Amino acid sequence: MVSTRARDGRRVHFPANILRPWVLHDGIRGCFRIRFTADGKFQDIQRLS
């Protein structure tokens, strides 16, 4: 699980494997938009910057 802070200050938790495409040798950098369905299932992720 990943724990991070959203732009609006909320604490967000989600499965780490969602970020797998962006993992580099020094970690993950950037802003992402992660969408979930109404019942909480992962829908998609988009890198914003």
pLDDT for residue 46: 95
pLDDT for residue 48: 92
pLDDT reading at 49 higher than 80:
no
pLDDT for residue 2: 92
Q: What is the pLDDT of residues 2-45, one digit of tens each?
A: 999 999 999 999 999 999 999 999 999 889 999 999 998 999 99
Tokens of 33: 């938009």
pLDDT for residue 6: 92
Report the Cα 43 to chain-centroid distance in Å. 11
pTM of the model: 0.72
Which residues, in sequence order, are CB contacts of 4 under 8 Å at separation 6+? 11, 12
Which residues, in sequence order, are CB contacts of 18 under 8 Å at separation 6+? 2, 34, 42, 45
